Amino acid sequence: AQSVTQPDIHITVSEGASLELRCNYSYGATPYLFWYVQSPGQGLQLLLKYFSGDTLVQGIKGFEAEFKRSQSSFNLRKPSVHWSDAAEYFCAVGPLVFGKGTRLSVIA
């Protein structure tokens, strides 16, 4: 069965600092992987997705993610966080199975 684990429930970073959100998945074949962002009271917005090919995927808002098959991971990164990045981030596989999310807080 497919499953997604986001080990970090809440992360706080300083504005301008780098960010990495972790995602581990369980899937029998090559997965479709997604990262979504959800701002308070809003629906989910797709940041990026991986289907095949280059394992480093670029997304919107300066985000990128790297697919590592050997580690069953698809971590999300951003080199410099902005205050507007504060939100809930969800990793998904399939695309029907979502992780529980990581809440990102940004401090000045």
Partner 1 sequence: EAGVVQSPRYKIIEKKQPVAFWCNPISGHNTLYWYRQNLGQGPELLIRYENEEAVDDSQLPKDRFSAERLKGVDSTLKIQPAELGDSAVYLCASSLSAGSETQYFGPGTRLLVL
x/- mask, partner 1, residues 74-103, rule CB under 8 A, reads ----------------x-x--xxxxxxx--
x/- mask, partner 1, residues 11-50, rule CB under 8 A, reads ---------------------x-x-x----xxxxxx--x-
How many other CB atoms are there within 10 angstroms of residue 69's CB atom?
10
> What does the alpha-carbon distance between residue 9 and residue 17 come to, in Å, rounded to a whole number?
19
Q: Which residues contact 64 (CB under 8 A, 6 or more apart)?
A: 48, 56, 57, 58, 76, 77, 78
Query: Applying CB under 8 A, which residues contact partner 1?
Result: 4, 32, 34, 36, 41-46, 49, 51, 90, 92, 95-101
